């Protein structure tokens, strides 16, 4: 299991949470990187993603789009991308365009969990 974030502080928090919830040291890696840029293509079975949609004062999906593309490249055939996002961001449209499929795994009036499979 590999946790990826560009923020060292976020990685430290993720590691502390992992260990506090029964994770064992050495069973996970914590990688400071820009999205999936450091992950070799076709080597991943599952990506869990909650992309940011604010960049300074702007609301944008540029980071999400980069993360979705990087995830698709890193996934093996049959690998899955699961995305948590605000419903109004319309991530399902981008995922259908990129993966050719996307389903809603769970939702409420504000948030949605989406699943796309690399074919």
Q: What is the pLDDT of residues 37-49, one digit of tens each?
A: 889 999 999 999 9
What is d(CA 119, CA 112) in angstroms, rounded to the nearest whole number? 22
Same domain, 24 and 6: yes
Same domain, 61 and 109: yes
Q: Which domain holds residue 28?
A: 1-33
Could you give the number of structural domains in the chain? 2
Same domain, 39 and 24: no
Instruction: Give this prediction's pTM.
Output: 0.88
Q: What is the dihedral of CA 114, 31, 7, 40, to 10 degrees?
A: -60
Question: 37 with 49: CB under 8 angstroms?
Answer: no
Structure confidence by residue, pLDDT tens digits, 19-37 = 999 999 889 999 999 888 8
Q: What is the dihedral of CA 23, 34, 61, 16, to 10 degrees?
A: 20
Same domain, 47 and 92: yes
**Average pLDDT over all residues of the chain:** 92
């Amino acid at each position: 299991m590999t946790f990826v974030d560009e923020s060292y502080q976020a990685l430290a928090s993720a590691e502390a949470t992992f260990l506090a919830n029964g994770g064992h040291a050495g069973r996970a890696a914590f990688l400071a990187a820009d999205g999936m840029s450091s992950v070799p293509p076709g080597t991943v079975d599952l990506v869990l993603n909650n992309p940011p949609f604010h960049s300074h004062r702007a609301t944008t999906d540029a980071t999400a789009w980069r993360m979705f593309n990087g995830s698709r490249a890193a996934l093996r055939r049959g690998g899955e991308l699961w995305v948590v996002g605000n419903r109004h961001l319309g991530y399902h449209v981008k995922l259908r365009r990129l993966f050719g499929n996307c389903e809603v795994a769970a939702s409420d009036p504000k948030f949605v969990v989406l699943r796309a499979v690399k074919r």
